[in-house]
Amino acid sequence: MAGTAKSRKWRSITLNAGKNRSGIMSETGPAIILVEPQLGENIGMVARAMANFGLAELRLVNPRDGWPSEKARAAASRADHVIDGVVLFDDLRSALADLNFVFATTARERDGFKQVRGPVEAGRALRSRARAGERTGIMFGRERFGLFNEEVALADEIVTFPVNPEFASLNIAQAVLLMSYEWMKSGLASETDTNFSGPVVQSAEKRHVHGLLDHLEQALDARGYFRPAAKKPKMVDNMRAVLTRPGFTEAEIKVLRGIVASLDYFSPRAPRGEGYPERKATADREAHDDGDYRRKPAPAEPGAPKPSAQEKERGDG
């Protein structure tokens, strides 16, 4: 019968007041209304985009290939709650009847007197109305040519996307994803919030930074890097300016010290693990401020194996 829903009623999903686990405000989202969608795959991708951003109510007006659609379910990629909650309508008026406010999406300028908003402003307007207890919706037209003028006339306002005017056509799932994203973003305490963040890091104490810079300067000096000698102060200043800018953590300083040490003390002919280079021995003597910089080995027991090269390098033998 025209003007009535032809499948199961949409199961209302109303989240608890306040914020959910992701920090998103929990007002009931807008209904997504697809007018005469053509391909089941597109409907499924719309459902997936909705689920990505917390929307669940999908209304279809006369889908060309009928409903239900296994192609839609497959394309939805486990957004089954959206697919299972779909409700069909014979005409657009019936699909909009219980809504208080509706946006129509279009890429073309239309005649009329309707307010036109961008997606950011539209998302905020939908959120504001949802918080006031209104039921809202967003209309999307056919894949080939969108909405007729008389269908746009049924909406309260128009939302359009700032796309390349020479290639303004969006896939219907892309358009739904953009509006779904703006809906979710409008509910964040801050629109720059993310679901997770990087680690909280603390910059290393300056003594660690200075130790790295001193070591690097000594290693470069030993290899004749600072040439001509008169330019060394300026070259050192430049090096320190570069390496103090990032604000390295202590762990990062240790990594860099290890790299510098490996390049400074070892070589392709005498790689790490093949002995105890004199430059490293000198550095260790200076670090311990005495001549007894290597641990003396305990007396070897009869028949005990000889220490390996690695043990010798560490001072264990």
More confident: 63 or 111: 63
Mean pLDDT (whole number) for 30-38: 97
How far apart CA 170 and CA 106 sit, in angstroms, is 10
pLDDT at 302 over 60: no
- Minimum mean pLDDT range among 62-71, 193-202, 278-287: 278-287
Tokens of 6: 């032809």
CB-side neighbour CA atoms (13 Å) of 111 = 3
Q: What are the sequence ranges of the domains in the chain?
A: 31-186, 206-297+307-314
Percent of the chain with pLDDT over 90: 59
So what's the architecture of 31-186 in CATH?
A: 3-Layer(aba) Sandwich (3.40)
Tell me how far apart the alpha carbons of residues 232 and 121 are, in angstroms, rounded to a whole number.
57
pLDDT per residue as tens digits for the range 83-135: 999 999 999 999 999 999 999 999 888 777 799 999 999 999 999 999 999 99
Rounded Cα gap, residues 183 and 185, in angstroms: 6
Per-residue pLDDT, averaged over 265-293, amounts to 70
Burial letters 218-242, b for 16+ CB under 10 A, else e? ebbeeeeebeeeeeeeeebeebbee
Residue 301 confidence class, pLDDT cut points 50, 70, 90: low
Does residue 225 carry a pLDDT above 50? Answer: yes
Look over the chain and give the mean of its residue pLDDT values, rounded to a whole number.
83
Asked if residue 222 has pLDDT above 60, the reply is: yes
Please state the separation of Cα 123 from the chain's center in Å: 20
Q: What is the pLDDT of residue 199?
A: 83
Q: Is the pLDDT of residue 13 over 60?
A: no
Each residue's pLDDT tens digit, 203-215: 999 999 999 999 9
Q: How confident is the model at residue 304 (pLDDT cuts 50, 70, 90)?
A: low
Question: How confident is the model at residue 308, as a pLDDT?
Answer: 58
**Is the predicted pLDDT of residue 300 greater than 90, yes or no?**
no
pLDDT at 14 exceeding the cut of 60? no
